[in-house]
Each structure stands twice: as C-alpha cells, then as structure tokens.
Amino acid sequence: MENTDNINNNSNENLPIISGELDLSINRFNANENFYKMAFQFQQIMMIYESAVKQIETKLEILNKENKVRRQRNPIETVKSRIKSPDSIAKKLEKKNLPVTFDSMMTNLSDIAGVRVICPYISDIYTVKEMLIKQPDITLVAENDYIENPKESGYRSLHLVVEVPVYLSKTAHNVRVEIQLRTIAMDFWASLEHELRYKTTTKVPDSVRRELFRAAETIAMTDRQMEEIAIELQQLD
C-alpha cells in the first residue's frame, strides 16, 4: 500500500510539469507559425524547380539514347545540374537591389534551376541547342552566345534560358531553366578559372587575368583544331 501511494503522488506531481512543457511547445509553434509556412512554401517552390531540371535532363537523356540507337556520334558528353541555395538566391536579389521575396525570386531570377551540358565539339553545342528548342513544350526565353562573343575574361559558353511546363496534380507552372552548353575544353577552363577567381580572398592581379585570357585563347584554338581533325577523319570513312 505504501509503495502504491508513493507512485500515485509522484505521478500527480509530474502532471503540471508535463502540461507546462506541452504548453511551451504550442506557444513556440504559434510564435513561429509564419516561419513554418514560409519554409513549407519555399520547399514547394524548390520542388517545382527540381522537377523542371529533371524534365530537361530527361529530354537530354532521350536524345542521347536516340543517337546510340542510330549508332551516330553522341553530341553530349555529360550533363550536370544544380539548384541555387537559399543563400545564393538572397545574395543575388540583394545585389540587384530587388526585394528578397518568393515573388521577386520567381519573377526576376532565371538561373535558380541550372543545367550544364558538356559536348565534345563546338558544333555539337549548336546541334544540341536546336534539338532542344524545336521541341514544342520548350520555349526559348533568352540566348547569350559567349562562344561567338567571349567575355573579357576569355570565358566561352552558350547560355540559354528556356521555359518548360511542370504539371502538378492541380496546377501547371512554366518554369525557367538556365542551360549552359560548352565543350570539354571550355568546361575545364571555366571550372579552374572560377576556382582561382572566386575562391581567393585577394583581388586577382592583372597579370594573372592576362594569363587566364591567353589560356582561354589557347583552349579555343585547340577546340577548333580537334574539330577539324574529327571532320577530316569522318571524311576518310
């Protein structure tokens, strides 16, 4: 009997403590309700961008398989993709002096979803571009040809912004995706240049900039030479 009384007393004494902890959790949830709503909304938006990237990747994969079935040379070497992080999105909006909101993000940024297509030769870049944009559900929004018109740094790549529809259970969204197309050599230069330029804490000296530009010119010349060799070999078949 004595043990039973002790158990009952201890249980009653603990009830207010448990109740208080539950009340505290509820209050904390109410105080941060807007945060949870925003986090859920952001998660939904990112899912739509991820779905758009998957659609582009699937289209490229199908084109790859088609070339294999036809036993033609494959114009696509590799495909990479990424979704901008929340921090990168916020920084880019702030840099453009734009409000950091969901509406602002979706309206003003075209590179939240990104796909990079690596091709063996320069001509392959334009072949892949034409194969993509002629598909009826792809809309070309913008094009920047940094192969014909390289940046001052020497950077070369073909940038496309396209819209692709994403169908959900109850809604449909036209989502912009940035597609970068470049050769293996261009990607090699761009990756190392990005590492050198953006991962250093000091300003890149002009002498280094000139060296990077010369390296880009050398790589561009190599790209053209390799394609000429490939064409010459094809003519021998």
Domain 33-236 fold is Beta Polymerase; domain 2 (3.30.460)
- Position 144 scores a pLDDT of 97
Residues with active-site annotation: 178
Return mean pLDDT, the chain. Answer: 84
For the cut 50, the answer to whether the pLDDT of residue 19 exceeds it is: no
Contact 163, 141 (CB under 8 A): yes
- Position 199 scores a pLDDT of 65
Contact 153, 209 (CB under 8 A): yes
The owner of tokens 């734009």 is: 98
> Would you state the structure tokens that stand for residue 212, as one six-digit string?
């990077």
| Domain residue extents for the chain | 33-236
Using a cut of 0.85, tell me whether the model's pTM lies above it. no
Q: Where are the alpha helices (DSSP H) in 32-117?
A: 33-69, 86-95, 102-108
Condensed to tens digits (0 to 9), the pLDDT of residues 60-103 reads: 999 988 988 887 778 999 999 999 999 999 999 999 999 998 89
Q: What phi and psi, each to the nearest 5 degrees, are found at residue 147?
A: -90, -50
Condensed to tens digits (0 to 9), the pLDDT of residues 25-44 reads: 444 445 466 777 888 888 99
When pLDDT is averaged across residues 151-176 and rounded to a whole number, the result is 95
